[in-house]
Chains A and B, each alone.
Chain A
Amino acid sequence: MSVDIEFDENCDPNNPRKIKYDDILAASRRIVGAVVRTPCTRAHMSERLGMDIYFKQEFLQYTGSFKERGVRNALISLSDEQKKNGVIAASTGNHGAALSYHSTQLGIPCIVVVPIHTALNKVNKCEQLGAKVFKHGIDMSAAKLHAMSLGKEKKMIYINGYDHPDVLAGQGSIGIEIIEQLPNVDAVLIPVGGGSLLTGIGISVKHLKPDTEIYGVETDKTCSMVESLRKNERIHLDIDSTIAEGLAVNVVGTNTFYNIKGLVDKMVVVKEDWVARAIMHIVEEERFVVEGAGAVAVAAIMAGLFPNLKGKKVVCIISGGNIDVTILARALERGMAAEGRLVKFKVTVHDRPGGMAELCTLLTNSGITIRDCVPERAWVKGDVFSAQVKVIAETRGWEHTKELIEQIKKHYKDYFFQEICDRPDRPSVGTRRGPCLAPNPVCMQK
């Protein structure tokens, strides 16, 4: 009889486990003191967005994400023999870091398997937190296979970061804290990757205050839960690179999918550009650093996907803050560009002394700040005496950008403005088509 390597007894499709509120309550008692009881504070952007928004700041946990709660609960619940043998997982992100940290704290041996080409800083982080890191496999599924076979070999328990029942119970403790901190909450917006947050918080909040609305948010590139709910079975979604790395789960969990029915009021899909803008607004107005997955809830509100929540008390789960600073810089740049505050354009000027000075004077008089100004000599087209100047400029907003366009039009014949064709900040509210423009979107149905 051969043992199937991929078989995880805790996440068996033939035997999905039901999570009850009692499990969640017990989990929240177990993790007290080891995990931060994060604040749930009012956001400064509430007035601008027209509702009472509260941020549950899970990025204040030690490893920077909410995953610590589930992991701690799972580790404490192991038997003594299992604790001696150790735990194993395949993860490059928040789950790996959380597992490394808490297993070291509890004295449990831990192995984390990552794909070969993982960035060095992620490997270093798990190692610094005390875990052994093995590199194996081209992508995450190969790494996971290796992890599971290694686990069977060494008798180590494989902890699935979004599907293990103890992990789900641990994430549910967030729901209990929300109701304690904000008893009259109206709605909770939850980012959805594998579904652990959605299931855990959904069960606890609906038990304590049944009239609270629970919404799950995904991005258009990581909508595995939405597609699975639509087809009523867990499907595999190919995920390319996405800004919300924490949500990049190809197949949602068995236990999460089983428990989710009847919990969620609506699933919402938001475009990735809004996530970049949300990161930028949170950096500017709240002065927090959040990762893409943590900002999707705010992005959905900014995109106008929740017109029914105007004036209500809404809690957004900011699931984590582990974003690479280079990606943060790029997200900020995209956010600025989407708001019309960063403009890239090309203008043809005369290639003689004073040509570029004239352009720069015109730009400065318009009150904009020039960030980059590079002349390029023409390769094939155009006359030999002109140069195309590529300018990156910072403006005050769309109105100011329009003024700038008028000025350039007046003084120069040959110009090209990139990406000014559409204005993404006018959401399509009131139509039956969702923001992803699919013909019969599941997010617009009840």
Chain B
Amino acid sequence: MSTLGESPAVLAKRKHVKNNVWCPKTNVEDDPWCDPDNPKMISYKDTVKATSVIKEYIAKTPLNRSKCCVQFNMELYYKFETVHRTGSFLERAALYSLSMLDDEQRAAGVITASLGNWGLALAYHGQRLNVPVTVVIPYTDKCKVILRCQNYGANIIQHGNDLSEAIRKAFIIKSEIQNLTYINGYDHPHVIAASGSIALEILEQLPQTDVVLVPVGGGGLIAGIATVAKKLKPEIKIYGIEPKKCCSFFKAMENDNPFQTVVGATVAEMLAVPKAGCNAFYTARSLIDKMVLVEDNWISRAILHLTEEEKMVTEGAGATALSAFFATPIILPELKGKTVVCVVSGGNTDYFTLCRNIERAKAIEGRLIKMRFTLSGDQLTEQRVKILRIIAKTSCNILQCQCEEALLEESFRKIYFTLICETASHEHACVVKRIMDSMFLDYKFSEDPYNPIQSCVCFPNPMLY
């Protein structure tokens, strides 16, 4: 008798249904240390323990007084975490979390997903402590960071458009190679505890601190600092500064729970964390006094300020805390006259990013101007010479100079003459603009901060400070 196969009841009893490969388990991102249903609050004791473990290797970072206290109208200090070897504060966290692994875990290795700084710190300390490290980084053109991680012996995998996809990939790899330990770079309790050591140093070096400004990405840094600072000095204020384009922690505070957000491309690349850490949020939400959102332009200006005045190279994330003071209009008036510490969290930037930020900041401040003249008629050469003589007389420095034929204008002999010049300040640029206004009819300044001056007084000039 031919069989029709086995009945569904029999199949069910045999548990014949397997998990299909194309539909992976929904909860592949299962991290016992960062469980949203069971968030951990970090205590002051954890931080003290972390500090005692790392202080042999990590020296106290400098806390320097700003040279521009008069300009900012407060006692401003910077905590420079850029002096670590891999250039960011995450070295403290990397050393502590690797030290807390037992021998079996160390031999098997760790895996993590990172935007760059955390992977670098973990790779460096992993090489020192003989722990194999695998890092998953989202697709980026940061070949230098990848190269440095590989120099420290880490295994780098590039995957995903943002950090969430990289995290998912890291967990998928972990589920394939069972023994790896996953360490979350902004939410692991050990990371938060080690970040708190920064606050211990700040209060030792400057007991009279009133306010600490902290950049916020996933929230690990501010959670650690807030725990320690509020315990040692309850009247201290902690402000979290986040870029407007990737404000996952701010949104989590509004929503009273972390959730997945969309992050845009921002100057502060290392803060582009789509979902705030659950432990960090649980620890910090009642300790943070204020969350502040900043624009990318202000961050560029802060990078320029730190490069020019304090002679320190910082990345966008590191300059985020200071950028709150470059806001127009002024957003933190209550800090006038107080003792304020800005945490400069990191300095891993490459030549192109640094130069682009400096150029942008100069353009915003009016020190880089772009003028486009439309010249027509017969005496084109004389007109150009006239323009160049005015530029020389007003002591501007010409960076670039270009002539283009006008393609679709009515008059046949018309050219566009574009000049990019460097000026000393916004006032100087306005002087140049006034002179050009009186001498030429058909030209304009190609950058936004200047056109509202000419068009209408209703539009507030975004530059005036």
Binding site for B on A (CB under 8 A): 39, 41, 44, 59-60, 62, 64, 119-121, 124, 280, 283-284, 286-290, 321, 325-326, 328-329, 332-333, 336, 367, 369, 371, 394, 396
Q: A41-B83, A60-B64, A280-B351 are in contact. Are A288 and B422 (CB under 8 A)?
A: no
A284 to B87, CA, bound (A): 9
Interface string of B158-185 (1 = CB under 8 A from A): 0000000000000000000000000000
Q: Closest residue to A336 on the B side, CB-wise? A: B351
Q: Report chain A residues within 8 Å CB of B83.
A: 41, 286-287
Q: Of B350, B352, B362, B397, which contacts A325 at CB under 8 A?
A: B362
14 examples of A-B residue contacts, CB within 8 angstroms: A119-B395, A283-B313, A284-B350, A288-B311, A288-B312, A325-B307, A325-B308, A325-B358, A329-B354, A329-B355, A332-B351, A367-B143, A394-B352, A396-B147
Does B67 count as interface, using CB distance less than 8 angstroms? yes
A284 to B351, CA, bound (A): 8
Structural contact, A332 and B147, CB atoms closer than 8 A: no
Q: Of B347, B355, B362, B428, which contacts A287 at CB under 8 A?
A: B347
Q: Report chain B residues within 8 Å CB of A286.
A: 83
Residues of chain B from 212 to 233 with CB closer than 8 A to chain A in the complex? none
Structural contact, B351 and A124, CB atoms closer than 8 A: no
Structural contact, A121 and B424, CB atoms closer than 8 A: yes
Q: Which of A60, A62, A326 has the most CB of B within 10 A?
A: A326
Smallest beta-carbon distance A60→chain B, Å = 7
Q: Closest residue to A44 on the B side, CB-wise? A: B85
Q: Report chain A residues within 8 Å CB of B312.
A: 287-289
Does B82 count as interface, using CB distance less than 8 angstroms? yes
Does B141 count as interface, using CB distance less than 8 angstroms? yes
Q: Closest residue to A318 on the B side, CB-wise? A: B311
Structural contact, A333 and B308, CB atoms closer than 8 A: no
Structural contact, A120 and B347, CB atoms closer than 8 A: no
Q: Of A44, A124, A329, A371, which contacts B424 at CB under 8 A?
A: A124
Q: Closest residue to A342 on the B side, CB-wise? A: B351
Q: Of B64, B422, B424, B425, which contacts A326 at CB under 8 A?
A: B422
Q: Closest residue to B142 on the A side, CB-wise? A: A369
Structural contact, B143 and A369, CB atoms closer than 8 A: yes
Smallest beta-carbon distance A342→chain B, Å = 8
Structural contact, A120 and B311, CB atoms closer than 8 A: no
Structural contact, A325 and B351, CB atoms closer than 8 A: no
Smallest beta-carbon distance A248→chain B, Å = 20
Structural contact, B307 and A369, CB atoms closer than 8 A: no
A333 to B311, CA, bound (A): 18
A286 to B147, CA, bound (A): 17
Structural contact, B307 and A289, CB atoms closer than 8 A: yes
Interface string of B39-78 (1 = CB under 8 A from A): 0000000000000000000000010100100000000000
Smallest beta-carbon distance A374→chain B, Å = 12
A110 to B47, CA, bound (A): 52
Q: A39-B62, A120-B428 are in contact. Are A59 and B311 (CB under 8 A)?
A: yes
Structural contact, B87 and A287, CB atoms closer than 8 A: yes
A5 to B405, CA, bound (A): 57
A329 to B354, CA, bound (A): 8
A62 to B69, CA, bound (A): 12
Given contacts A119-B397, A289-B313, 10 further A-B contacts (CB under 8 A): A60-B311, A119-B395, A119-B424, A280-B351, A288-B312, A289-B307, A325-B307, A325-B358, A332-B354, A369-B143
Q: Report chain B residues within 8 Å CB of A64.
A: 311
Q: Closest residue to A325 on the B side, CB-wise? A: B358
A59 to B85, CA, bound (A): 20
Does B209 count as interface, using CB distance less than 8 angstroms? no
Q: Closest residue to A294 on the B side, CB-wise? A: B311
Q: Report chain B residues within 8 Å CB of A284.
A: 350
Q: Report chain A residues within 8 Å CB of B352.
A: 371, 394
Structural contact, A369 and B141, CB atoms closer than 8 A: yes
A39 to B307, CA, bound (A): 19
A439 to B293, CA, bound (A): 63
Structural contact, A120 and B395, CB atoms closer than 8 A: yes
Q: Which of A289, A290, A369 has the most CB of B within 10 A?
A: A289
Does B114 count as interface, using CB distance less than 8 angstroms? no
Q: Report chain A residues within 8 Å CB of B141.
A: 369
Smallest beta-carbon distance A285→chain B, Å = 9
A207 to B268, CA, bound (A): 50
Q: A287-B313, A288-B312, A367-B143 are in contact. Are A62 and B67 (CB under 8 A)?
A: yes
A329 to B358, CA, bound (A): 9
Q: Report chain A residues within 8 Å CB of B399.
A: 326
A120 to B431, CA, bound (A): 14
Residues of chain B from 296 to 353 with CB closer than 8 A to chain A in the complex? 304, 307-308, 311-314, 347, 350-352
Structural contact, A328 and B67, CB atoms closer than 8 A: no
Q: Report chain A residues within 8 Å CB of B62.
A: 39
Q: Report chain A residues within 8 Å CB of B307.
A: 289, 325, 328
A230 to B448, CA, bound (A): 58
Structural contact, A333 and B351, CB atoms closer than 8 A: yes
